[in-house]
């Protein structure tokens, strides 16, 4: 139960975030608003899961065919139309890139926007990876592609692009999907669709997108396929994975060749995330001993928590820091309208959302992306109708069906911290097969890793925040490479 004082605490946190954090603010604000919206919404849909113990797929493939009327439709000649000649201001590249729309509901006119970048080397043999940002309701194009792991970063002028040497398309062919409809350039011609957003339809639409996209790019139909994302993608990714596996099982054939999922700083469980958050803040000197004692003495972090518990949630002021990375610089707004970073962190710019928004709202850029002319925003206010309280059952179902599941955590994140992820992992009730140990990147400790039965893996990324590819891009790319190989990153000790 989330009540008055807790809501007040979250609203104050939201106001501080909007005031001082820019590259991360809209994603953080979106997640905070989602948590606020969960107040009093414990219903059958929030506790239900999809398929046998986790995944809601109604009657297999035929259900989605009835919903969309567009599954596996003819996509011939659309690939050529989606090819991008060049984005305005981009440097020379030696890979192909595509973008456009895939219709997921013909009756409602609902279409999802994608941006696809192939690998610069050996694209024909590298796997296919789908990236999903969280929110819920935040753009994988604006955040994932332009500020994290895509091949380009927008320069401060908002007009030109520079290359990202740690782009994930060095290891895979990457699709960035703006999902659900109403996010970024994705849209519906039926306005009521925006009032019916939720986990279930997001997974269904993403599945329809994939099946139709593979018709458009048939050379990828049998390619090894992976899903990755961060934050609320802790809901998106497992539910989409379960939808894919369910339809493969239902049809007794491989429709989408899913080989694994990789989710960073995931939002997995309403109560465990809140418990882990406060514990992390206390352990890192942000929360006082008195506030932590009151919370631990009066809160159980479940639906039985009462008003007395929630009153203690607001007993701290963390000041103008970035909860997405409590040690990172923040973006400072000056009275004259200029902005700058409060300090220097190599490779990271806390103000990069400003030029990104400018770039993606340029009509010439939108035309190059084959996007509809519209006002693009990083996150959308969608009325979220359904979301399980926990992803534990879904993760258990995926592990049971043999899917490699890797969760990773930047260890400076206080929004979906590693402490919260650990609590959810405990609920999985699976045994450890490889004990906790360091992993190294260029002779430095890159983080720590532990593996469990069924190949489930938890790995931390040292000195990274919520968006690992932004804060530690090289370590993030190294982690991806080992995930795709299906082996743990090594621990190399100095001789």
pLDDT value at 43 more than 50: no
d(CA 430, CA 451): 10
Exposure string (b/e) for 182-191, b if CB count within 10 Å is 16 or more?
A: bbbbbbbeee
Residue 40 has pLDDT above 90, yes or no: no
| Torsions phi, psi for 61 (to 5 deg) | -60, -35
Residues 6+ apart with CB under 8 A from 134: 27, 30, 31, 229, 230, 231, 232, 233, 234, 235, 236, 267
Task: Please report the pLDDT score of residue 66 as a whole number.
Answer: 54
Return the pLDDT at 12: 36
Tokens linked to 472:
């530690």
More confident: 26 or 163? 163
> Annotated catalytic, 401?
no
What pLDDT is recorded for position 434? 98
Q: How far is CA 32 from CA 84, 91, 235, 273, 432, in A?
A: 36, 37, 15, 12, 33
Give me the residue label for tokens 């040292």: 462
CA distance 383 to 132: 19
- H-run or E-run covering 124: none
Closest C-alpha to 483, from 245, 264, 213, 241: 264
Name residues whose C-beta falls within 8 Å of residue 41's C-beta, 6 or more positions apart in sequence: none
Q: Report the candidate in 225, 217, 182 with the shortest Cα–Cα distance to residue 81.
A: 217
On the question of pLDDT at 339 being above 80, the answer is yes
Residue 410 has pLDDT above 90, yes or no: yes
Tell whether the model's pLDDT for residue 403 goes beyond 90: yes
The domains of the chain, with CATH numbers, are 4-485 (3.40.50.1820)
Mean pLDDT of 421-434: 98
Q: Tell me, what's the pLDDT at 10?
A: 41
Tell me whether residue 193 is one of the annotated catalytic residues.
no
CA angle 472–476–479, rounded 5-degree value: 145
Average pLDDT over residues 243-259: 95
Confidence of residue 46 (pLDDT cuts 50, 70, 90): low
What's the pLDDT at 314? Answer: 64
Q: What is the mean pLDDT of residues 181-188?
A: 96
Model pLDDT, residue 36: 61
Q: How far apart are CA 388 and CA 402, in angstroms?
A: 22
CA 398 – CA 127 distance, rounded (Å): 20
* Res. 479: pLDDT tops 90: yes
Q: How far is CA 56 from CA 240, 247, 256, in A?
A: 10, 11, 18
pTM of the predicted protein model: 0.91
- pLDDT for res 42: 47
Residue 71 has pLDDT above 80, yes or no: no
Helices (H), 322-378: 353-360, 363-368
Q: Is the pLDDT of residue 257 over 90?
A: yes
Upper half-sphere CA count for residue 111 (Cβ side, 13 Å): 13
Q: Is the pLDDT of residue 346 over 90?
A: no
CB neighbour list of residue 204: distance below 8 Å, 6 or more residues apart: 64, 67, 243
Average pLDDT over residues 478-484: 99
The residue count of the chain comes to 495
Q: Which of 139, 179, 188, 231 is catalytic?
A: 231
Q: At what angle do helices 418-428 and 392-400 cross, to 10 degrees?
A: 60
The whole-number average pLDDT for the span 241-270 is 96
Q: What is the pLDDT of residue 65?
A: 55
Considering only residues 97 and 23, tell me which one the structure prediction assigns the higher pLDDT. 97
Dump pLDDT digits (tens) for 124-134. Answer: 999 999 999 99
Confidence of residue 336 (pLDDT cuts 50, 70, 90): confident
Question: CB–CB of 171/224 below 8 Å?
Answer: no
Predicted pLDDT at 59: 42
pLDDT at 283 over 90: yes
Average pLDDT score over residue span 367-372: 98
Mark whether 49 is an active-site residue: no
Distance CA 474, CA 163 (A): 14
- Please list, in sequence order, all residues whose beta carbon lies within 8 angstroms of the beta carbon of residue 440, skipping any fewer than 6 positions away: 446, 489, 490, 491, 492, 493
Q: What is the mean pLDDT of the chain?
A: 88
With 80 as the cut, is the pLDDT of residue 32 above it?
A: no
Instruction: Give yes or no for residue 50 having a pLDDT over 50.
Output: no
């Amino acid at each position: 139960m989330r009540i008055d004082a807790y809501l007040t605490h979250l609203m104050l946190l939201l106001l501080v975030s909007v005031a001082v954090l820019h590259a991360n603010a809209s994603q953080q604000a979106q997640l905070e608003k989602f948590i606020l919206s969960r107040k009093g919404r414990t219903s059958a849909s929030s506790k239900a899961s999809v398929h046998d113990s986790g995944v809601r797929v109604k009657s297999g493939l035929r259900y989605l065919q009835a919903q969309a009327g567009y599954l596996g439709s003819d996509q011939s000649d659309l690939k050529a139309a989606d090819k991008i000649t060049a984005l305005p201001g981009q440097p020379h590249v030696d890979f192909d890139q595509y973008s456009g729309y895939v219709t997921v509901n013909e009756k409602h006119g609902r279409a999802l926007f994608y941006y696809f970048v192939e690998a610069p080397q050996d694209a024909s043999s590298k796997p296919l990876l789908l990236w999903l940002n969280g929110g819920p309701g935040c753009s994988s194009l604006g955040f994932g592609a332009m500020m994290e792991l895509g091949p380009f970063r927008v320069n401060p002028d908002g007009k030109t692009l520079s290359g990202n040497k740690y782009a994930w398309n060095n290891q895979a062919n990457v699709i960035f999907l703006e999902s659900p409809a109403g996010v970024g350039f994705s849209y519906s011609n039926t306005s009521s669709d925006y009032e019916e957003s939720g986990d279930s339809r997001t997974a269904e639409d993403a599945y329809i997108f994939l099946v139709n996209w593979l018709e458009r790019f048939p050379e990828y139909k049998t390619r090894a396929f992976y899903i990755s994302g961060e934050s609320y993608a802790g809901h998106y990714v497992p539910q989409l994975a379960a939808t894919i596996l369910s339809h493969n099982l239902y049809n007794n054939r491989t429709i989408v060749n899913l080989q694994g999922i990789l989710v960073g700083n995931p939002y997995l469980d309403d109560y465990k995330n809140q418990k882990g958050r406060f514990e992390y803040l206390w352990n890192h000197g942000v929360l006082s001993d008195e506030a932590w004692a009151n919370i631990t003495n009066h809160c159980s972090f479940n639906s039985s928590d009462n008003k007395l518990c929630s009153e203690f949630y607001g007993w701290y002021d963390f000041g103008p820091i970035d909860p997405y990375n409590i040690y990172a610089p923040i973006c400072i707004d000056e009275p004259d309208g200029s902005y700058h970073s409060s300090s220097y962190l190599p490779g990271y710019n806390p103000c990069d959302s400003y030029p990104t928004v400018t770039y993606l709202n340029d009509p010439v850029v939108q035309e190059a992306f084959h996007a509809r002319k519209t006002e693009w925003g990083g996150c959308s206010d969608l009325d979220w109708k359904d979301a399980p309280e926990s992803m534990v059952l879904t993760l258990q179902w995926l592990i049971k069906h043999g899917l490699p599941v890797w969760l990773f955590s930047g260890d400076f994140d206080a929004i979906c911290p590693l402490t919260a992820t650990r609590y959810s992992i405990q609920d999985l009730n699976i045994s450890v097969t490889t004990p906790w140990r360091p992993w190294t990147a260029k002779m430095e400790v890159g983080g720590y890793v532990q593996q469990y039965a069924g190949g489930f893996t938890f790995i931390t990324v040292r000195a990274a925040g919520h968006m690992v590819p932004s804060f530690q891009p090289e370590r993030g790319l190294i982690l991806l490479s080992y995930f795709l190989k299906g082996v743990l990153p090594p621990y190399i000790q100095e001789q």
